[in-house]
């Protein structure tokens, strides 16, 4: 169960598609595959993005074959003339393409259902490199390909995410495990923190890891991740988890979780376990905080809603904030943030509420509260508080940092006082 | 002004950083640079992502030098030991690194201000390849580098977006134009559509372009872009604009804009020009529709707010939807969508409103209205309507498609009836 590869594999990812190079679509596959492969002890050595061009694809495969243990391609498996991946790779490897009857049959069934005729171009998708395996694609028409000649393992995946993700999980991973290329268990641990910089975090983490373990840091608008892999230490998953636990203890309140959960997921889980509910009142985050909750499946169990009140009139009419308060302190103030949080619990009838009001920019701001100033309000069963924070960056970054800061405040508070809140209220 | 390169340049982009290959950070630089370079007639030929590894970086530069007209690197210019880009490229090109006094002085001033001591590692950033130019970095510590030996032009940019974007715009583009590598004007036109697939759009566009012009399509949750470059046709910007106009006429109502504006930006501009306002009532989009408005600087002129009402109680208490209506028709119904839109205009006191209610999944749904069913409500000064749509994909995609569909409905309606609405109401 703990078979982590001790010798490091060389992994090449080739993403194919003009739209990736012309700024028409972001290369989300690299981010997703990077994480998935690292989890299985197969960190990507190098990644290349190519145009839908047979000569370019052939050249890349030719010079990489035998040099890499694993080559993963995405895109270019469809039926149109710009889909060059399958044919150009078959040619450069000197392999024939063989019809996959089951895939052709699936295609015919699907097309009959939607009243479309199957053309030879459509059927050209249903082929596999001779000696390779076809990877079934229940969400699309083009099957993937798995081919291994003892030197290099080649995995060819379709471009659409809805086809690629399940094919990777259900068809590719079991095959990579069975040939001993991927590890069965998780090959790294990730410690997620908030409120501590990457440099001080490294000072804490470095003395706690074992010689040979590899350490990488990732930062995302306030969140700092430390990822520890066994590296050349030969440490097993259990040992990695022990190291993660010691980091957790050393980091203290800034520790968010091990793994990949976002702050909203953690708050939703905390609320669900306490059977408590939350509402929001948002000004400068303008719906982004609500969206971070509603991105989580099942959030409706704890999340009642958000009053996104951009104008002062909306704050008065929807939340019942007093005109006096707004006139005296302004909408960007501790007083307004607290009034918004308190009103949200009342109007939505929830146990907790978060509110955010600030200057996201580029316009607005005062001498005392320049662009980037944000007040966060927090209402709990036992009281209402606010705090003033300052965010760097453009409008989008100020919004995102404000959302993360608000969620982190709540996460900390519930970790410390959640049970107490429940007892006092009942 | 219209000097579009007739011979196609070969462009290589090298993004450097372990975090890009380990799934810790998405490679947003490729998307951004892809668009920026294409605008200047420099579409990226190939892109590579490398680890912070001196040998890998050296090898890539060595085999690419002279083969590409332009090489752009991002990342690895900082002061820490994993920043290998500058030194490894200097070594492989056989060039010395020379101190840039102005950059060193800037660094010292900055560090004095924040009370930090300047170390030799910090100063190592302030160097440039001999014979090259230093690109000033007012938002960070590491200057960029511009180097040209007559065969290949090399541009080295820092990793942080806040430093990279202004450096590219202010320091790199003027230099690329002055050496005749980049075109002064826009080198392509982009026609943005909604409601038409890529295949039928290609059937409309193909006969309207001139032989030699190149055509690329990009799709983003319902939006389909056709981008036309002069290619080998030698057409000037004026000719490209004429082609775009003929496409616009042929596409009809599905035409959104030429360029890159998002649907929310277009609706905000429509409302601003009419001096009208909007509010929202969201259930299944859960704040994402509000967020698409509040991402736009200056949206507060037209956007009052959104009642994100996830629970039935919230719909009743915040929006005043009747309990009878919810009991009889359910929250996912045409009746509820219309009541939500009408209530939003009243509660927020706006001219227009959009509402969204549906099953985003993975839970919920009925036989008649399975997961992916969404009702959109639309209130205008002259009436309130709703429509039922079905969205494919996971929870995130259903939300995003619902947002785009709602915005597109409003865009079409205002284009057709906006002025009429204003007259009738007054």
SS3 A350: coil
Question: Mean pLDDT across chain A, nearest whole number?
Answer: 91
Mean pLDDT of A121-140: 90
B50 neighbourhood in chain A, CB within 8 Å? 46
Pairs across A and B, CB distance < 8 A = 257
Element (H, E) at A400: helix A395-425
Mean pLDDT of B134-148: 91
Of residues A20, A286, A297, nearest to B362 (C-beta) = A297
What ipTM did this prediction achieve?
Answer: 0.86
Structure tokens belonging to residue A224: 């700092």
HSE-up of residue A125 (Cα within 13 Å, Cβ side):
30
State phi, psi for B78 to the nearest 5 degrees. Answer: -75, -170
Q: DSSP label at A18?
A: H
Q: Which residues of A229-242 are buried (b: 16+ CB within 10 A; e: fewer)?
A: bbbebebebebbee
Per-residue confidence band for B219, with pLDDT thresholds at 50, 70 and 90 = confident
From A178, A171, A168, select the one nearest A133 (Cα to Cα).
A171
Of residues A35, A304, A314, nearest to B23 (C-beta) = A35
Structure tokens belonging to residue B390: 């079905």
CB atoms B45 and A393 under 8 Å? no
Distance separating alpha carbons of residues B355 and B280, to the nearest angstrom:
6
Q: How far does the CA of residue A131 sit from the closest CA of chain B (Å)? A: 30
B114: pLDDT strictly greater than 80: no
A318 neighbourhood in chain B, CB within 8 Å? 305, 307, 318, 347-348
Would you state the pLDDT for residue B262?
Answer: 95
Element (H, E) at B386: strand B383-390
Of residues A44, A225, A314, nearest to B21 (C-beta) = A44
Element (H, E) at B272: helix B263-274
CB atoms B23 and A46 under 8 Å? no
Rg (CA), chain B: 26
Mutation site, A306, A331, A332, interface B, largest B CB count within 10 A: A306
Chain A residue closest in CA terms to B359: A297
Q: How far does the CA of residue B256 sit from the closest CA of chain A (Å)? A: 16
Per-residue confidence band for A4, with pLDDT thresholds at 50, 70 and 90 = very low
Of residues B216, B287, B394, nearest to A18 (C-beta) = B216
CB atoms within 10 A of CB B138: 9
SS3 B38: helix
Mean pLDDT of A66-71: 96
Contacts of A275 (CB under 8 A, 6+ apart): none
From B264, B288, B247, B260, select the one nearest B391 (Cα to Cα).
B288
End-to-end Cα distance, chain A: 46
Q: What share of chain A is helix, strand, coil (3-state, %, to 5)?
A: 45, 25, 35
B49 neighbourhood in chain A, CB within 8 Å? 30, 44, 46-48
Give the tens place of pLDDT for each residue, B301-348. Answer: 999 999 999 999 999 999 999 999 999 999 999 999 999 999 999 999
Assess contact for A279 and A304: CB atoms under 8 A: yes
Mutation site, A82, A287, A353, interface B, largest B CB count within 10 A: A287
Distance separating alpha carbons of residues B187 and A342, to the nearest angstrom:
54
Range(s) of chain A covered by CATH 3.40.980.10 = 11-178
CB atoms within 10 A of CB A248: 15
Would you state the pLDDT for residue B2?
Answer: 34
Would you state the pLDDT for residue A1?
Answer: 29
From A205, A214, A210, A206, select the one nearest A250 (Cα to Cα).
A205
Assess contact for A258 and A189: CB atoms under 8 A: yes
From B158, B157, B138, B154, select the one nearest B146 (Cα to Cα).
B154
From B292, B226, B286, B299, select the one nearest B256 (Cα to Cα).
B226
Assess contact for A381 and A342: CB atoms under 8 A: no
A308 neighbourhood in chain B, CB within 8 Å? 280, 287, 290, 294, 305-308
Cis status of the peptide bond prior to B388, with omega within 30 of 0 = no
From A391, A5, A404, A390, select the one nearest A176 (Cα to Cα).
A5
Mutation site, B72, B287, B331, B347, interface A, largest A CB count within 10 A: B287
A23 neighbourhood in chain B, CB within 8 Å? 31-38
By residue count, chain A amounts to: 426
From B195, B250, B206, select the one nearest B228 (Cα to Cα).
B206
Kindly give the interhelix angle for B198-205 and B237-251, rounded to the nearest 10 degrees: 120
Of residues A20, A286, A347, nearest to B293 (C-beta) = A286
CB atoms A294 and B399 under 8 Å? yes
Q: Which CATH number fits domain A188-258: 3.40.50.300, 3.90.1170.50, 3.30.70.2860, 3.40.50.1820?
A: 3.30.70.2860
Range(s) of chain B covered by CATH 3.90.950.20 = 263-425
A6: pLDDT strictly greater than 50: no
- CA B228 centroid distance within chain: 18
Distance separating alpha carbons of residues A214 and A196, to the nearest angstrom:
20
Cis status of the peptide bond prior to B362, with omega within 30 of 0 = yes
Contacts of A224 (CB under 8 A, 6+ apart): A192, A193, A194, A196, A197, A198, A201, A217, A218
Give the tens place of pLDDT for each residue, A218-259. Answer: 888 889 999 998 877 878 888 899 999 999 999 999 999 999
E runs forming strands in B140-204: 144-148, 153-157, 188-194
Question: Mean pLDDT across chain B, nearest whole number?
Answer: 91
Distance separating alpha carbons of residues A409 and B197, to the nearest angstrom:
45
Mean pLDDT of A60-68: 96
State phi, psi for B230 to the nearest 5 degrees. Answer: -65, -25
Question: A3 or A181, which is more confident?
Answer: A181
Distance separating alpha carbons of residues A353 and A280, to the nearest angstrom:
5
Give the tens place of pLDDT for each residue, B71-91. Answer: 999 999 988 777 889 999 999
Assess contact for B353 and B278: CB atoms under 8 A: yes
Contacts of B115 (CB under 8 A, 6+ apart): none
Q: How far does the CA of residue A26 sit from the closest CA of chain B (Å)? A: 5
Distance separating alpha carbons of residues A231 and A272, to the nearest angstrom:
38
CB atoms B294 and A51 under 8 Å? no
Distance separating alpha carbons of residues B23 and A48, to the nearest angstrom:
15
Q: How far does the CA of residue B131 sit from the closest CA of chain A (Å)? A: 30
B421: pLDDT strictly greater than 70: no
Of residues B34, B162, B393, nearest to A22 (C-beta) = B34
Range(s) of chain B covered by CATH 3.30.70.2860 = 188-258
Prediction pTM value: 0.86
By residue count, chain B amounts to: 426
Distance separating alpha carbons of residues A72 and A181, to the nearest angstrom:
13
Q: How far does the CA of residue A412 sit from the closest CA of chain B (Å)? A: 24
End-to-end Cα distance, chain B: 46
Q: How far does the CA of residue B49 sit from the closest CA of chain A (Å)? A: 5
CA–CA distances in Å: residue B321 to residues A317, B279, B304, B347: 16, 16, 20, 12
Distance separating alpha carbons of residues B283 and B373, to the nearest angstrom:
13
Kindly give the interhelix angle for A334-348 and B312-319, rounded to the nearest 10 degrees: 120
Kindly give the interhelix angle for A263-274 and A395-425, rounded to the nearest 10 degrees: 20
* CATH number for region A263-425: 3.90.950.20
Give the tens place of pLDDT for each residue, B350-372. Answer: 999 999 999 998 988 999 999 99
Would you state the pLDDT for residue B122?
Answer: 83
Distance separating alpha carbons of residues A138 and A106, to the nearest angstrom:
9
CB atoms B317 and A285 under 8 Å? no
B399 neighbourhood in chain A, CB within 8 Å? 294-295
HSE-up of residue B364 (Cα within 13 Å, Cβ side):
21
Mutation site, B14, B32, B34, B395, interface A, largest A CB count within 10 A: B34
Mutation site, B14, B223, B310, B362, interface A, largest A CB count within 10 A: B310
List, in sequence order, every residue forming a beta bridge with A147; answer none if it has no partner: A154
A30 neighbourhood in chain B, CB within 8 Å? 20-21, 26-27, 49
Would you state the pLDDT for residue B69?
Answer: 96
Assess contact for A216 and B24: CB atoms under 8 A: yes
| B11-178 belongs to CATH 3.40.980.10 | yes
Mean pLDDT of B40-51: 94
CB atoms within 10 A of CB A269: 16
Contacts of B59 (CB under 8 A, 6+ apart): none
E runs forming strands in A51-175: 70-74, 97-99, 127-129, 133-135, 144-148, 153-157
Q: DSSP label at A331?
A: S
Q: DSSP label at A128?
A: E
Residue keyed to tokens 């000037």: B236
A21 neighbourhood in chain B, CB within 8 Å? 30, 34, 43-47
A362 neighbourhood in chain B, CB within 8 Å? 297
Per-residue confidence band for B3, with pLDDT thresholds at 50, 70 and 90 = very low
From A128, A126, A108, select the one nearest A116 (Cα to Cα).
A108
A139: pLDDT strictly greater than 50: yes
Would you state the pLDDT for residue B112?
Answer: 84
CA–CA distances in Å: residue A81 to residues A52, A77, A86: 9, 10, 12
């Amino acid at each position: 169960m703990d078979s982590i590869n001790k010798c490091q594999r060389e992994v090449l990812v080739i993403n194919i598609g003009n739209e990736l190079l012309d700024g028409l679509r972001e290369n989300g596959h690299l981010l997703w595959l990077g994480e998935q492969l690292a989890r299985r002890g197969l960190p990507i050595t190098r990644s290349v993005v190519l145009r839908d061009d047979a000569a370019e694809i052939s050249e890349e495969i030719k010079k990489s074959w035998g040099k890499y243990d694993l080559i993963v391609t995405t895109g270019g498996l469809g039926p149109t003339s710009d889909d060059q991946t399958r044919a150009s790779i078959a040619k450069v490897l000197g392999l024939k393409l063989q019809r996959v009857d089951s895939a052709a049959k699936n295609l015919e069934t699907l097309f009959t259902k939607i009243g479309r005729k199957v053309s030879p171009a459509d059927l050209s998708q249903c082929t596999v490199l001779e000696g390779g395996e076809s990877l079934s694609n229940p969400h699309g028409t083009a099957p993937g390909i798995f081919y291994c000649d003892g030197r290099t393992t080649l995995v060819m995946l379709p471009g659409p995410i809805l086809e690629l993700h399940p094919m990777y999980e259900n068809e590719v991973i079991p095959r990579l495990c069975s040939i001993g290329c991927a590890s069965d268990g998780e090959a790294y641990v990730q410690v997620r923190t908030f409120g501590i910089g990457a440099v001080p975090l490294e000072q804490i983490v470095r003395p706690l890891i074992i010689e040979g373990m590899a350490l990488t840091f990732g930062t995302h608008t306030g969140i700092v991740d430390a990822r520890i892999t066994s590296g050349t230490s030969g440490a097993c998953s259990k040992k990695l988890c022990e190291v993660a636990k010691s980091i957790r203890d050393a980091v203290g309140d800034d520790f968010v979780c091990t793994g990949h959960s976002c702050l909203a997921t953690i708050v939703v889980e905390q609320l669900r376990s306490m059977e408590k509910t939350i509402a929001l009142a948002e000004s400068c985050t303008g719906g982004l905080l609500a969206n971070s909750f509603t991105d989580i499946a099942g959030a409706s169990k704890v999340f009642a809603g958000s009053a996104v009140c951009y104008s002062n009139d909306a704050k008065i009419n929807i939340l019942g904030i007093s005109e006096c308060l707004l006139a005296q302190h302004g909408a960007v103030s501790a007083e307004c943030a607290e009034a918004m949080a308190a009103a949200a619990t009342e109007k939505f009838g929830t146990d907790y509420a978060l509110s955010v009001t600030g200057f996201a920019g580029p316009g607005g701001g005062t001498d005392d509260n320049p662009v980037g100033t944000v007040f966060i309000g927090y209402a709990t069963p036992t009281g209402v508080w606010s705090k003033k924070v300052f965010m760097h960056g453009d409008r989008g970054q100020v919004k995102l940092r404000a959302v993360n800061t608000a969620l982190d405040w709540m996460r900390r508070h519930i970790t410390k006082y959640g049970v107490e809140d429940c007892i006092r209220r009942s």
